[in-house]
Structure 1
Amino acid sequence: MKTDDFWAVIDQARAGGPADASAIAARVTAELAEREAPEIAAWARHLDRVLAASQKADLWGAAYLINGGCSDEGFDAFRGWLLAQGRPVFAAAVADPDSLADLPAVRQAAVTGLEFESTEMLEAAAQAHRRSTATELPPPEQPVVRPDVADFWDFDDPDQVRAQLPRLAELFGEPPLE
């Protein structure tokens, strides 16, 4: 599956109703369930590649700051939510996680404490495959690879947070660097 085709499914789901990640994931699942099994599997394989490309320590740090902590599963769920925001937001966040400070929802979360997660987006292809074929989606071709812990910085150190994610640090209560 081509990248544009992968994101077209998400774009169509984003345009089809409420903008919360769960509703978008439900529409992605419904759209995929109408397709042939090989196309659903191709979408799932592309999802694996998109998630692999976003396995970045700085993005994990942003998720940790925004959600008030972030386990392995929490980082996956955060990226599920990020997928539901669409390609431009996802690409910008992977390239520069501090760009998440521009999103109105993230700015609001700095005040409300709302957390961003969507395992439903990550499970859309598997759910669609079950609906379409009554069988499980074939397993991923490649295992999930996590960022090297040597690349991590201390997500709890205010100085490191300000140095890596200054705009998010300012939003979430860390004073800016002098």
Structure 2
Amino acid sequence: MRTDDFWTLIDQARTGADGDVEAIAARATELLAARDVADIVGYARHQRRVLAASYLVDLWGAAYLINGGCSDDWFDYFRGWLIAQGRSVFARAVAEPDSLAELPVVRQAAVTGEDFASQEMLGVATRAYRKATATELPPDPDAVPYPPEIGEFWDFDDEGSARRQLPRLAALFLDPPAE
């Protein structure tokens, strides 16, 4: 599956979902299950590449600020949510994690405390393959490994570090709104 095909499928799944990530995941599963098995395997492989490319310390820091904490599993789920936001949001967040502060849903989360994560988005290929073949998705012998270095970690709990690394997100999530 080519990059454009992967993101086109995500965009198709987003249509009519009104930002509901679980609905996007369900729709993506249905759309993918209707395709050739090779496309399902290709989707899984491409998703792995997308996740590997987004395995970055500053993006993890952004997830930590936005969600009020972020374990390694939760960072995967955060990136599942990020995939559901579409190609342009995903690419911009990978290039500049602090840009997430511009998203209306993220700005609202600074007030509501909503968390952003989707394990369901990460399971789209597995569920689609099972639906299409009644068998489990085989392991990818050519799986793209995560980079050995995520980048230099900084203390996500240190306000000064957060303000230096992600100033816009820090302003949203560390400074209480004026009443």
TM over 0.5: same fold? yes
Equivalents in 2 of 1:151, 1:137: separation in Å?
A: 34
- CA RMSD in angstroms, aligned pairs only: 1.5
Question: Is it true that 1:142 corresponds to 2:143 in the alignment?
Answer: yes
Extract unaligned runs of 5+ from structure 2: none
* Number of equivalenced pairs: 175
How far has the Cα of 1:138 moved from its partner? 1.4
- Structure 1 partner of 2:170: 169
Question: For 1:63-106, what per-residue CA distance to the aligned partner results, in whole angstroms no more than 9, with x for missing partners?
Answer: 00100110111000000000000000000000000000000000
- Structure 1 partner of 2:27: 27
| TM-score of the superposed pair, with normalisation by structure 2 | 0.93
Extract unaligned runs of 5+ from structure 1: none
Equivalents in 1 of 2:159, 2:48: separation in Å?
A: 32
How far has the Cα of 1:35 moved from its partner? 1.0
| TM-score of the superposed pair, with normalisation by structure 1 | 0.93
Q: Which runs of 4+ in 1 moved over 6 A?
A: none
Alignment of 1:24-173 (within 5 A): 24-140=24-140, 141-142=142-143, 144-145=145-146, 148=149, 151-173=152-174
How far has the Cα of 1:144 moved from its partner? 4.8
Equivalents in 2 of 1:172, 1:147: separation in Å?
A: 30
| Contact residue 92 and residue 99 of structure 1 kept, 8 A | yes
| Contact residue 162 and residue 174 of structure 1 kept, 8 A | no
Identity over aligned pairs, percent: 63
- Structure 1 partner of 2:3: 3
How far has the Cα of 1:132 moved from its partner? 0.3
Question: For 1:20-66, what per-residue CA distance to the aligned partner results, in whole angstroms no more than 9, with x for missing partners?
Answer: 11000000000001012111000110000011000000000000010
